[in-house]
């Protein structure tokens, strides 16, 4: 079965075509800068590459361009669109309603629409991608895979905020958590690497990319996570604050900041960018710090310190930790960040081997010492593969 995985953002659609159940990638690509003058499609299929430039007005046009590229004589992967039996969509917010991936029908679309005000930067674009795919591939099964779903097992004691209870009853204000597809993928993969059952492992999963989050996974199920009602809470991120005293907002409101400015400040101007004043990108900050830029160094130090604090918290939440798992662009590729986070955690049973850690860049393996109580695993995440597998499982009626 050919499964097309779609990740639709505000100005881009990323996609991968899978042959299931083997999970072979037949083609992958993206359309970037949708709505701008110079939009661009790039696709790779084996050793063939395909690029197309020009104005792409909206997601509907982008989807048409993608489908054309997939069946193209030059660099395409399939002969006919009828070969695409199913489409798996990444959807960021599934509220309390979706505890797993699901076949999309009008009721599911209405729910995703309902959660747009909880994820205004993501759900509307995910929906546009779903509608475009339904329109262009009317005979394909459409499946939604929610970033929030893996965290549906978080208990009330961890998901409730200490706000008046009516706010939960009226607005469903609570912790939802995100990056769930990534946390689930690496937790399952960690169980395989540790030769344990997927519902036997206790792991702390650390997803460090442009967005960053952690999860405490007890016996294969998420029991706490660092992101909250929105993806703003928790770790320091590229441009987001993570945890901070909400009274800072009242203070700034008193000084004349309006809601829009505060929103931009917290989501777009803070984090690594805000502290360093230079960049949201860890690679750049590493270079700047090496040249003696003290603010870049401070940004890296605060970033690592926050992760370290959460590891301690989640070690307290879990009854024993089999592994700490690093993933995401930073977690997979930066031995320096991993070393800074884990240094001096031997009292928690976490001991990184310097040589193994240095050698693990963009690949999968254990970087802990032989005597470390917990393994320290680096696992490149693969959310697209997880979505393809869920989609295949739902459509074929096999276990997810
Ligand atoms: P992602 O959102 O998962 O693509 O991750 C993006 C982040 O990963 C950016 O902050 C990049 O600077 C960071 N990153 C990618 N490669 C490296 C690397 N080799 N060393 C440090 N950070 C990296």
Here the CATH number for the domain that contains residue 27 is 3.30.420.40
**Distance separating alpha carbons of residues 380 and 15, to the nearest angstrom:** 18
- Do 272 and 367 belong to one domain? yes
Residue 323 lies in a domain: yes
Residue 189 lies in a domain: no
Distance between Cα 319 and ligand 1 center (Å): 31
Residue 221 lies in a domain: yes
Reported pTM: 0.94
Mind telling me the catalytic residues?
A: 147
- Do 294 and 219 belong to one domain? yes
Instruction: Please give the pLDDT value at position 400.
Output: 64
Task: Please state the atom number of ligand 1 nearest to the C-alpha of residue 280.
Answer: 10
- Do 279 and 365 belong to one domain? yes
- Do 334 and 272 belong to one domain? yes
What average pLDDT does the segment 118-142 reach? 91
- Do 246 and 359 belong to one domain? yes
Residue 185 lies in a domain: no
Domain that holds residue 317: 197-383
CB atoms within 10 A of CB 124: 15
Summarised one tens digit per residue, pLDDT across range 313-370 is 999 999 999 999 999 999 999 999 999 999 999 999 999 999 999 999 999 999 999 9
State which of 182, 235, 333 you would mutate to test the pocket of ligand 1, scoring each by most atoms of that ligand within 8 A of its C-beta: 333
Summarised one tens digit per residue, pLDDT across range 32-82 is 999 888 899 999 999 999 999 989 999 999 999 999 999 999 889 999 999
- Do 11 and 106 belong to one domain? yes
Distance between Cα 377 and ligand 1 center (Å): 17
What average pLDDT does the segment 13-24 reach? 96
Judge whether 342 and 315 are in contact, CB under 8 Å. Answer: no
- Do 70 and 202 belong to one domain? no
Ligand 1 pocket, CB under 6 A? 209-210, 238, 281-283, 286, 328-330, 333-334
Distance between Cα 24 and ligand 1 center (Å): 25
Residue 400 lies in a domain: no
- Our count of domains for the chain comes to 2
Encoded tokens for 286: 């590493």
pLDDT band of residue 9 (cuts 50, 70, 90) is: confident
- Do 135 and 205 belong to one domain? no
Residue 119 pLDDT greater than 90, yes or no: no
- Do 99 and 240 belong to one domain? no
Residue 56 lies in a domain: yes
Residue 201 lies in a domain: yes
Instruction: Please give the pLDDT value at position 92.
Output: 93
Judge whether 115 and 94 are in contact, CB under 8 Å. Answer: yes
């Amino acid at each position: 079965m050919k499964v097309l995985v779609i990740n639709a953002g505000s100005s881009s659609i990323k996609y991968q075509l899978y042959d299931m159940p083997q999970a072979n990638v037949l083609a992958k690509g993206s359309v970037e800068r949708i709505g701008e003058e110079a939009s661009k499609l790039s696709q790779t299929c084996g050793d063939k590459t395909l690029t197309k430039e020009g104005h792409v007005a909206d997601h509907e046009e982008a989807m048409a361009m993608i489908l054309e590229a997939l069946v193209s004589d030059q660099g395409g992967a399939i002969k006919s669109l009828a070969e695409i039996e199913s489409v798996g969509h990444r959807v960021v917010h599934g509220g309390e309603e979706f505890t797993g991936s699901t076949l999309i029908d009008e009721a599911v679309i209405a729910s995703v629409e309902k959660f747009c005000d909880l994820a205004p930067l993501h759900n509307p674009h995910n929906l546009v991608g779903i509608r475009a795919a339904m329109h262009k591939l009317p005979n394909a099964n459409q499946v939604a895979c929610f970033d929030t779903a893996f965290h549906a097992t978080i208990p009330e004691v961890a998901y409730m905020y200490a706000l008046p209870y009516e706010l939960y009853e009226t607005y469903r204000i609570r912790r939802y958590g995100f990056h769930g597809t990534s946390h689930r993928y690496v937790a399952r993969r960690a169980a395989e690497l540790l030769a344990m059952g997927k519902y036997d492992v206790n792991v702390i999963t650390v997803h460090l990319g442009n967005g960053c989050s952690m999860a405490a996974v007890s016996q294969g199920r998420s029991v706490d996570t660092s992101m909250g009602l929105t993806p703003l809470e928790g770790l320091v991120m590229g441009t987001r604050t993570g945890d901070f005293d909400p009274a800072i907002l009242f203070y700034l409101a008193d000084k004349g900041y309006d809601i829009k400015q505060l929103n931009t400040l917290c989501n777009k101007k803070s984090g690594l960018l805000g502290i360093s004043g230079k960049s949201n990108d860890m690679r750049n900050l590493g270079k700047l710090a090496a040249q003696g830029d003290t603010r870049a160094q401070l940004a890296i130090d605060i970033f690592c310190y926050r992760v370290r604090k959460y590891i301690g918290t989640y070690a307290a939440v879990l009854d024993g930790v089999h592994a700490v798992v690093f993933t995401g662009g930073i977690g997979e590729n930066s031995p320096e960040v991993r070393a800074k986070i884990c240094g001096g955690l031997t009292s928690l049973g976490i001991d990184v081997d310097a040589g193994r850690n240095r050698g693990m860049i963009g690949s999968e393996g254990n970087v802990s010492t032989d005597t470390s109580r917990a393994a320290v695993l680096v696992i490149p995440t693969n959310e697209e593969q997880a979505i393809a597998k869920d989609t295949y499982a739902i459509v074929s009626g096999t276990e997810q």
